[in-house]
Amino acid sequence: MTAITASMVKELREMTGAGMMDAKKALVENDGNIEAAVDWLRTKGLAKAAKKAGRAAAEGLVSVATNDAGTHGVAVEINAETDFVSRNEGFQSLVSEVTSIATSGTFADVDALNAADMNGKSVADTITAAVATIGENMNLRRYESVSVSQGYVASYVHNAVADGKGKIGVLVGLESTKDRAELETLGKQVAMHVAAANPLFLDIDSVDPEMLERERTVLIEQAKEQGKPAEIAEKMVTGRIRKYYEEHVLVEQTFVMDGETKISKLLGDDIKLTGFARMVLGEGVEVEETDFAAEVAAMAG
């Protein structure tokens, strides 16, 4: 019997897009014959992913959830090729299962979550296997979490298509000893604000120093171009940096629901905002634009 090596499994996975255990089983069943293993996977419906692997997956769902204690929340993004699949019950069920796994533990990053056990396979391999059933290229693209030692992690999904699932998901961590019901209400309001206002940083201390210095340099050069004296230019820059904080730092922003209260004041002295996550479906994915009419014309010769 032919010995099945890791390189053989790797080669078959690259050829078919099949999961590691499926590729190994295919090779065992076919005595190491690569071509026969490919056909075996195709007959089992496990090689469909290979044909779809090149397609851009920028649709799908963002899912958020918290544990029963309300102290740990997660956000995951599972991509598919079309918006239609987000309403597929099978896809929604898959997203729910992955989200549940993410909520049940603490994972360092999305790679760790992809490697986690899911019904005897890794999460990544389970998603790959589901491609044959759902019919679209899919992948777990992102994972983020927010935790508090005491208090509450609030979640919010904008335009949800199912419970906890949609195109924009937000988590907000409130560290406090106050009543959970009060924290839930306030947390949801702040999470809705985050969805709308898109802050880049939690507080002033967390602002990227390089980004801030780059902003300061641009503002100083702008003031010089306007012919302002050095001392006036410095005051202008100080004011504009303050404006930058008000636009991009969460606790410095004005609450969108009333248009006047700063988020730090809304929280008060006995609630600390410890972290947040805002995940937008397909954010940062480059999708090739296709001119369908030109494509048909080209095919027609």
- 178-227 confidence digits (pLDDT tens): 999 999 999 999 999 999 999 999 999 999 898 888 888 888 888 878 88
Cα pseudo-dihedral 289, 294, 295, 301, rounded to 10: -160
Q: Which residue has the tokens 């004041």?
A: 265
Instruction: Tell me the torsion sign for CA atoms 221, 227, 230, 236.
Output: negative
Angle of CA points 247, 58, 84, to nearest 5°: 115
CATH of domain 208-247: 1.10.286.20
**In this predicted structure, what is the pLDDT of residue 286?**
59
Q: Which positions of the chain have pLDDT values less than 50?
A: 49-51, 53-54, 290, 292, 295, 299, 301
Closest CA to 212 of 236, 230, 232, 238: 238
Cβ neighbours of 43 (radius 10 Å): 10
CATH code of 6-52, in short, is 1.10.8.10
Fold for the domain defined by 59-198+267-280: Tetrahydropterin Synthase; Chain A (3.30.479)
The pTM is what? 0.75
Alpha-carbon distance of 267 to 247, in angstroms, equals 18
Every domain of the chain and the residues it spans: 6-52, 59-198+267-280, 208-247
CA atoms within 13 Å, Cβ hemisphere of 119: 11
Q: How far apart are CA 178 and CA 269, in angstroms?
A: 11
The predicted-structure confidence for 137-158, as pLDDT tens digits, reads as follows 899 999 999 999 999 999 999 9
Q: What are the tokens at 19?
A: 């999961």
Alpha-carbon Rg for the chain, nearest whole angstrom, is: 25
Q: Name the residue among 255, 67, 87 with its Cα closest to residue 167.
A: 87
Please give the sequence-ordered ranges of beta strands (E in DSSP) within the chain, or none if there are none.
59-66, 72-80, 117-118, 121-122, 139-147, 151-158, 165-166, 168-175, 272-280
